[in-house]
A = this chain, B = another copy of it.
Amino acid sequence: MNAPDTRTAILDLAEELVRSRSFNAFSYQDLADGIGIRKASIHYHFQTKEDLGVALVERLRRQAIAWASVLVERNATPLEKLDAYLDFQAQNCSSDGLICPQGVLGAEYNALPSRVQESYVEFLEQIQTWLASLLRKGQEQGVFMDDVPPEDQAALIQSAIQGALQLSRASGKQQRFEAVAKGLRDHVLCPVDG
């Protein structure tokens, strides 16, 4: 949408198609039709589909880092960071039928080109590390429950969010996502106040 250049337009549409249908269920023809150019022109920017997949996941990683750095500049608290994360994922859950790319790629992991697999695993670890880090800080500050290691809390949150997006989309009940997000938040919060 209104991308500054063709390469960006391709990545934008590819991301949308991954989140809608999965990596293996869209084609260069779909990209060409959506952008209004020919298949061969897509190959000029991304010689193979594996190249496109790697570029897509690497862009997701950079975007995630940029997104997180905004929170740092705002001196966001651990709870504010967690809420920002939950809100961000909730936006996926509107009516557009898109879910988070992590979940899609994880589900078809064995069918991904090998270099896409590698980028994807690093992306997952980046999210896991970021979540565990903010959860640890929240535990130290006494606002999060510390009966469980922050790494385990992070794994639960990451898993539940991506699973909930999948369930909500298919069932058509987005309140199911909201219930999960609220449950996760209450689960880590110390039971002093809301």
Contact = CB atoms under 8 A, between A and B. Distances in A.
Nearest to A182: B152
Which residue, of A148, A172, A176, has the highest number of chain B Cβ atoms within 10 A? A176
A114 B166 CA distance: 17
A159 to B, nearest CB: 3
B167 A21 contact: no
Contact of A106 (B25, B148, B169): B169
Nearest to A109: B170
A138 B171 CA distance: 25
A121 interface: yes
B167 A158 contact: yes
A8 to B, nearest CB: 23
A107 B162 CA distance: 9
A152 B104 contact: no
A110 B111 CA distance: 18
Interface in A169-194: 169-172, 176, 179-180, 182-184, 186-187
A101 to B, nearest CB: 10
Interface string A80-106: 000000000000000001010001111
7 contacts: A24-B24, A99-B107, A106-B166, A107-B107, A125-B171, A152-B182, A159-B166
Name the 6 nearest CB pairs between A and B, nearest first.
A163-B163, A159-B163, A106-B166, A107-B107, A25-B111, A160-B160
